[in-house]
Structure 1
Amino acid sequence: MSVLEESPDSPLKKRPPAPRWSDIWLKNTKPLKHVVLAMQLQSLASKDPKSQTLIPHFANIDRTLLLSDELLLTILSKLPLSQRKSNSLVCRRWLNLQGRLVRSLKILDWNFLVSCRFITRFPNLAHVDLLNGCLFLPRNSEILLTHRMVSTQMSSGFCSNLDLLEENLLPVEVVDKGLQVLANGCPNLRRLVVINASELGLLTLAEECLTLQELELHKCNDNVLRGIAACENLQILKLVGTVDGLFSSSVSDVGLTILAQGCKRLVKLELSGCEGSFDGIKAIGQCCLMLEELTICDHRMEDGWLAALSYCENLKTLKLLSCKRIDSYPGPDENLGFCLVLERLYLQRCQLGNKKSVRALFRVCEAVQEVLVVDCWGLDNYMFTFASVCRRVKFLSLEGCSLLATDGLVAVILSWQDLETLIVVSCKNIKESDISPALATLFCNLKELRWRPEAKSLLSSSLVGSGTRKRGGKFFKRT
């Protein structure tokens, strides 16, 4: 049996069939994709009654029309916040989608709030600030009022009672109407800042916005707190009663008691410019069992309120800000008590020149582990000795304490066996030359040390050799 072998030039070898035009056309489908895309876009445009023209060129095709709103929202949410403004200018569809991504907004124009544009433009708002929107903004005014809470233009008229914002606030009825519109349009609201609201406006807000967790209320009084008490899920609350030079209002023990009985889930509470006494703070401590942080700013409370802090059994952070006095007559030591689980004491811009106040404060906070004192007047060597009762301190930060000297600091911190971090900044009476061997040994055992007590000397040493001191010689000469 013979075997027939095929050679390359053999006429018996099968040759591939000649290509057909249909095969070539189907393999090169790239032009077909553009045609199909154009047909789909034209079909979408024909369904839109506002679109009456076809897309003439492939370069002008908006390929995002093929994406659903949900998918395009996901893409836009991944872009940085700096591009949101430019993205909203692409087209009307992107403008509406970008508005659905906005969660926080500061209202400057009250008419925009009460109009239906507010709800349709930003349907998913969670944080709203109405502070500047509740003010009249006079046109062509050259007077600009800037405060840590608000910055706005003011009228040129003279206000006799020196409360500059009183005459520029919107009426209470207008503010309540805006709160009603906000409550109906933003049921998922979680944070709100407002001024000059009434009990009725806050009740409407509490009924519609069940998820409201953070509220900052300016120009507050006892009657307004009846509405706040209806916010059962409120966790963070800031009450501003009186601000010298801006507006005045009154929050007393009556309002604090109403607040305590209604808002039992409070975790953080700040009382700024509020009145009250032992009874109001006691009610908060007994009812708000979840309270962990209490901030007292520029208080007007009666003497003896410090003893009520011991009723806040879960209080972990106590902040005193801009207080002209702490507690002039706190009462006997056996009635003070102390906060069992307090971890952090923060004092800023307070006057600590009263012996009874400072002694009672550290007595109540003797379980504290972190102490921060910033720009407080009156804290000298004698006043700082009262801090020696705080045996558990691990973190100490002193900044701007100009009356405290080195020996006063050493006398206290050497008795703290658990001290791990020490920060001393801009305390001019604490000299590096007064460092004793015991203090140097303490420095070696610390986990963190930031020692810059004499900022002036550090500045002078950094200017050596730069010739900065000589540059003004030709302008300022002794005669």
Structure 2
Amino acid sequence: MSFSSENQIQTQKENPNPNISSLLKKRVPRWSDIWVKHTKSKPLNQIVAAATAMQMQLQSLSPSHKSHNNTLIPNFSIIDQTLLLSDEMLLKILSKLPDSQRNSNSLVCKRWLNLQGRLVRKIRILDWNFLLSGRLIHRFPNLNHVDLVPGSLILTKSSNILTSNNVLCMNVDSACSPNWFLCEDNMLPVEVIDNGLSALASGCPNLRRVQVIGASEMGLLSVAEECPTLQELELQSCSDNVLRGIAACVNLQILKLVGNVDGFYGSVVSDIGLTILAQGCKRLVKLELCGCEGSFDGIKAIGKCCQMLEELTLCDHRMDDGWMAAVSYCENLKTLRLMSCKKIDLNPGLEEYLGSCPALERLHLQKCQLRDKKSVSALFSVCRNAKEIIIQDCWGFDNGMFNFANVCRRVKLLYIEGCSLLTTEGLESVIHSWKDLQSLRVVSCKNIKDSEISPALATLFTSLKELKWRPDTKSLLQSSLVGISIGKKGGKFFKKT
């Protein structure tokens, strides 16, 4: 050896490798050493402070402390800043974000998932077990609008046949039932639907709107007892007995009853059910009757008891003759709407017994058959105080039918669409008698021609505040295609080469 000193020899005996000795002196302290050293005589808060200081020392000693990807030591400087916010403050921030970001926000963490669920107010139930298991209430505790109709139907997933109606749509199997009531054969049992309503009412007492099909009186009673703030209800496949449960909803303001729907289900709502409804729901503001039966007595009971009723809609009604005379008992009625009605009232009675609605402002007819002169004449007589008349896609509405509207002297707005039998002469003969007319909209009425506009009618157009004149959409399309070589005959796009 090149070194002969005794001290050097002694050092070599103790540390055979001097390079290893130098590395041991500079060895980075371990967490176990720090923990054992500081846990012998210091309390817990001092231990945490010491651990934090040692962490900073380790980061300074580590050669790769600037690159977080190259070290196994966690960097506590990167902290979720939202943890400093309370749930209430974070809810206010999340509520300001658009609904399109709702799904992405719920994927951030479990806390955001729970908070985002508390912001959801409206939901459609597709799986009934999701409601019965309690997961719906736990996931969305603040719901106020729930649509239970899709989850109440047992849909055939393997079927590609989709049938729809103005009320609902569903997939059906190719082997249809002999009675042709698709929903009745594919609907959950009444007991199961009632259990779901009871679970929903107990978990969401702040419900304001519910849509349900096939429920019984007991299921609706549970909703009426647990949800005093319920204001809007849509009940499909309804019958007279079920309306006893609806009568317990004393604060109900908007109600839609669906009785019989051809091809889906058949249930009966008669004067008995309408009377029960009128005596229980006296705060109704809007009432829609779809496929419901009844007569003069049922409509009269609604008009007498529901003094706050402002809007009445009849869709595909099955009312007995003479029901229209009872509309005059609705003293505060402002809107009367008839939709998809095959008839109006074939025997309305004498005109002196019809009466009229003093507060009526709007008459809306859509997709109705207006072929009976007595019905149309009685309808305009009852609605003689209307200020707005809207007629859309009604069959049989010609000049003679429109002439009955002369009795309406307060009309300010007229909207006619899809009435192909009405001509320019028939339109002019009526609107000239309306001195208060301010708005006129004529769309898709092929027998109303621009060339037939008289000077008197043109002068009337200049005095209107609003004019939408598109009676012949075909001519409008042709004029818009001028100069672009579309719609012409010939082989301009298919030439032989």
Q: For 1:376, which of 385, 394, 418 is the aligned residue?
A: 394
**Among candidates 329, 335, 357, match of residue 353 of structure 2:** 335
Stretch deviating more after TM superposition (358-367 or 164-173): 164-173
Per-residue deviation at 1:152? 2.9
CA distance in 2, matches of 1:320, 1:58: 68
Deviation of 1:460 (Å): 1.1
Distance 2:258 2:167 in 1: 10
2:119 is aligned, of 101, 109, 113, to 101
Distance 2:449 2:159 in 1: 50
Q: 1:419 to 1:203 in 2, by over 3 A?
A: same
Let me know the Cα RMSD of the aligned residues: 2.0
Take 2:438 and 2:323, find their aligned partners in 1: how far apart are those partners? 32
Q: Which string of whole-angstrom CA distances, capped at 9 and with x for unpartnered residues, describes residues 244-271 of structure 1?
A: 1111110000000000000000000000
Change (3 A) 1:472 1:192: farther
Partner of 1:449: 467
> What corresponds to 2:168 in structure 1?
150
In structure 1, distance between residues paired with 2:79 and 2:163:
50
Matches of 2:260 and 2:328, distance apart in 1: 26
After superposition, where does 1:80-159 map in structure 2 within 5 Å?
A: 80-159=98-177
Does residue 271 of structure 1 match 2:326? no
Asked if residue 241 in structure 1 is aligned to residue 277 in structure 2, the reply is no
Equivalence map 1:56-71=2 (5 Å): 56-58=74-76, 60-71=78-89
Structure 2 counterpart of 1:311: 329
Residues 131-140 or 346-355, more deviating: 131-140
Name the SS for the 1:397 alignment partner.
strand
Name the TM-score, length of structure 2 as normaliser.
Answer: 0.84
Distance 2:155 2:209 in 1: 24
Q: Distance in 2 between matches of 1:470 and 1:373?
A: 35
What count of residue pairs does the alignment treat as equivalent?
429
TM-superposed deviation, 1:137 = 2.2
1:471 Cα deviation after fit: 7.5
User: Given the superposition, is the C-alpha separation of residues 144 and 60 from structure 1 closer, same or farther in structure 2, using an over 3 Å criterion?
Assistant: farther
Cα distance in 1 for partners of 2:442, 2:487 equals 28
Q: Which stretch shows the higher mean deviation, 434-443 or 249-258?
A: 434-443
In the alignment, which of 374, 383, 390 is matched to residue 365 of structure 1? Answer: 383
Residues 127-147 of structure 1 show CA distances to partners (whole Å, capped at 9, x for unaligned) of: 000010100123322323333
Summarize the Cα distance change of 1:447–1:470 in structure 2 as closer, same or farther, 3 Å threshold. Answer: closer
How much has 1:58 moved relative to structure 2? 4.7
Say if 1:64 and 1:328 are closer, same or farther in 2 by CA, change over 3 A: same
Question: Aligned letter for 1:79?
Answer: L
Quote how far apart the aligned CAs of 1:150 are: 2.7
Match in the other structure for 1:47:
none
Secondary structure at the aligned position of 1:441 is classed as helix
1:274 offset after TM fit, Å? 0.2
Retained in 2: the 8 A contact 1:55–1:61? no
2:281 alignment partner AA:
C
Q: Does 1:282 align with 2:300?
A: yes
**1:419-459 deviations in whole A, cap 9, x for unaligned?**
00000111111111111111011001100101111111111
What is the deviation of 1:60? 4.2
Secondary structure, counterpart of 1:313 in structure 2? coil
Quote the sequence identity (%).
70
Aligned equivalent of 2:90, options 72, 78, 81 = 72
Contact 1:395 / 1:420 at 8 angstroms: preserved in 2?
yes
Residue matched to 1:347: 365
Q: Which runs of 5+ in 2 are unaligned?
A: 1-47, 56-71
SS at match of 2:358: coil
- Quick check: 1:468 aligned with 2:486? yes
- CA distance in structure 2 between the partners assigned to 1:55 and 1:364 by the alignment: 84
Amino acid at match of 1:267: V
CA distance in 2, matches of 1:280, 1:321: 19
Deviation at 1:156, TM superposition (A): 3.0
Amino acid at match of 1:76: L
Structure 1 position 92, deviation (Å): 0.6
Which structure has the larger Rg? Answer: 2
Q: CA–CA distance in 1 between the matches of 2:384 and 2:275?
A: 27
Unaligned runs of 5+ in 1: 1-34, 43-53
The alignment status of 1:421 with 2:439, answered yes or no, reads yes
Per-residue deviation, residues 42-80 of structure 1 (Å, max 9, x unmatched): 9xxxxxxxxxxx992256421111111111111111111
Distance 1:476 1:215 in 2: 58
Q: Deviations over 1:188-232 (max 9, x none)?
A: 000000000000100111001000000000000000000000000
SS in 2 for 1:165: helix
Letter in 2 for 1:204: S
What are the residue-to-residue correspondences of 1:18-29 with 2, within 5 Å? none
TM-score (norm 1): 0.87
Describe the SS at the equivalent of 1:423: strand
In structure 1, which of residues 198, 201, 204 is the aligned counterpart of residue 222 of structure 2? 204
> What is the CA distance between 1:467 and its match in structure 2?
1.4
The whole-number CA distance in structure 2 between the counterparts of 1:275 and 1:159 is 25
